[in-house]
Amino acid sequence: MLEDVAFSDKLLTSIVLTTSSCNAEKEKLRMEHSNLLFVINPHAGGKNKLEITSEIKQCCTGKSLFPYLYETTGINDKEEILKRMDHLKPEAIIAVGGDGTVNLVGDLLLNSETALGIIPAGSANGLAKDLNIPVNFEEALDIVQDFYTTKIDTLKINGKNCFHLSDLGFNARVVHRFAESSFRGKISYFWYALKEFFSYKFFAYKINSSELKKEGKAFMMVLTNANKFGTNITINPIGIINDGYFEISIIKPFPKIFAPLILFRLISNTISKSKYFIVLRLKKATISNSWKEFFHIDGEPVTERSEKLEVEIIPKSLKVILPETRQ
Ligand SMILES: Nc1ncnc2c1ncn2[C@@H]1O[C@H](COP(=O)(O)OP(=O)(O)OP(=O)(O)O)[C@@H](O)[C@H]1O
């Protein structure tokens, strides 16, 4: 377990309002004598977490920032973080890990004034990429210290919080297989995708909302209010992270021989030009799929598969630290 460092009373912070390109006022808090709780996942990604620890300490020295470090174990982390929140009353909690770590911290900060900071240290880092937070550790740490914040929308899916994206169908199956295996990295992910693809059967769905009703079959269906996967592939070209809507992006069934074309469309970020792609913009919907298709939330496989997914946007429910220049 990493040790906690430094502690002091907090002094007042001053607030400067500025505008944001993502349709919300951005606040800048001058961080002085502020407690920051870093939640570090030692399991995520590849970066040496000991190095991270010393860099955090070094960076905060002389800046009146008081970093506390908590290393996740994968067991009881929520309870442990809650205890520290109660004691430290941190200005922000910084998730140092991938989307699973962001989800863990985000869950605890929903509808609160404590900000979520992200230092991407996972294998994909989807939300960080969508917020234009650099994957470079030092640059991401600088952004945390600059402390520009805005409130973003989040999704509720069958009572669970989703901060980046969830999907059903092909990719979710690969995520499940990958999570069950002991192999890691892009090559093994690609291997599982290839294995899954040849036996894969498209699934049937029904979408019911006050805005529209739709039914059909899908190769995969993504639920998000962000734009892209952690791989930087755009799957929701119309997503705005704080507009009060989420999108359902659907890749429709296609002849399997067209797979290279679909892959090309995805990689070149031109999937919206494909006739096999549609995107729906909604506030609330029920998605039925009698097959109980596999799905995941923020990269974490959901084991209780369900015939019905109740999805809803929760507007401006999470305060996040993001770069001043985020476009
Ligand atoms: N000390 C630990 N040992 C093993 N697993 C852990 C530990 N701490 C957290 N975990 C697990 O790590 C997972 C979250 O990982 P996270 O998503 O942050 O990283 P990643 O999978 O590398 O990144 P990404 O989601 O960006 O691909 C959770 O399932 C959590 O239970």
- Which run of H or E residues covers position 280? strand 277-282
Report the pocket of ligand 1 as residue ranges, CB < 6 Å: 41-45, 72-74, 97-101, 122-125, 230, 299-300
Beta strands 92-97 and 34-40 are: parallel
> Ligand 1, atom 18: nearest CA belongs to which residue?
98
166-191: per-residue pLDDT in tens?
Answer: 999 999 999 888 888 777 667 888 88
Query: In this structure, which residue's CA is closest to atom 30 in ligand 1?
Result: 74
Q: Are residues 195 and 270 in the same domain?
A: yes
Using the mean position of ligand 1's atoms as its centre, give its distance from the Cα of residue 100 in Å: 6
Smallest CA separation from ligand 1 atom 13, residue = 100
CATH number at residue 82: 3.40.50.10330
Number of the ligand 1 atom closest to the C-alpha atom of 120: 26
d(CA 308, CA 146): 42
pLDDT at residue 239 in the model: 95
- Give, for ligand 1, the residue of 38, 41, 228 to mutate: max count of ligand atoms closer than 8 Å to Cβ: 41
Same domain, 26 and 123: yes
51 Cβ contact partners less than 8 Å away, ≥ 6 residues apart: none
Distance CA 164, CA 120 (A): 14
Ligand 1 atom closest to Cα of 184? Answer: 22
Q: How far is the CA of 33 from the centre of ligand 1 (A)?
A: 30
| Residue 7 covered by a domain | no
Rounded CA separation 79/86 (Å): 11
**Residue 181 Cα distances to 174, 196, 225, 292, 295, angstroms:** 11, 14, 29, 22, 17
Give the domain range for residue 72: 15-153
Q: Are 163 and 154 in contact (CB under 8 A)?
A: yes
Q: What is the pLDDT of residue 9?
A: 29
- Check if the beta carbon of residue 119 is closer than 8 Å to that of residue 99: no
**Residue 302 has what pLDDT?**
94
Same domain, 26 and 53: yes
Q: Could you identify the residue written with the tokens 């917020």?
A: 131
Give tens-digit pLDDT for 53-110.
Answer: 888 887 777 666 788 999 999 999 999 999 999 999 999 999 999 999 999 999 999 9
Query: Would you say residue 208 lies in a domain?
Result: yes
Low pLDDT (below 50) residues in the chain: 1-24, 30, 327
Q: Is residue 64 part of a domain?
A: yes
Boundary of a domain, candidates 128, 153, 178: 153
Looking up residue 207, the CATH number of its domain turns out to be 2.60.200.40
Same domain, 205 and 291: yes
Structure-block tokens of residue 306: 């369900």
Residue 206 placed within a domain = yes
Q: Is residue 6 part of a domain?
A: no
Which pLDDT does position 317 carry in this prediction?
98
- At residue 48, the pLDDT reads 66
CA of 144 to the centre of ligand 1 (A): 21
User: Same structural domain for residues 289 and 145?
Assistant: no
Question: Which residue, 121, 153, 185, sits at the end of a domain?
Answer: 153
Q: Please enumerate in sequence order all residues whose Cβ is within 8 A of that of 117, keeping only pairs 6 or more positions apart, or say none.
A: 36, 92, 93, 94, 95, 143, 144, 320, 321
Which residue has the CA at smallest separation from atom 9 of ligand 1? 74
Same structural domain, 189 and 164: yes
Q: Do 18 and 26 form a contact (C-beta atoms < 8 A)? A: yes
**End of a domain among 119, 135, 153?**
153
Q: With a cut of 0.90, is the ipTM above it?
A: yes
Ligand 1 center–CA 96 separation, angstroms: 10
Task: Please give the distance, rounded to the nearest whole angstrom, from the Cα atom of residue 99 to the centre of ligand 1.
Answer: 8
105 plus 219 within the same structural domain:
no
4 part of a folded domain: no
Please check whether residues 234 and 138 belong to one and the same domain.
no
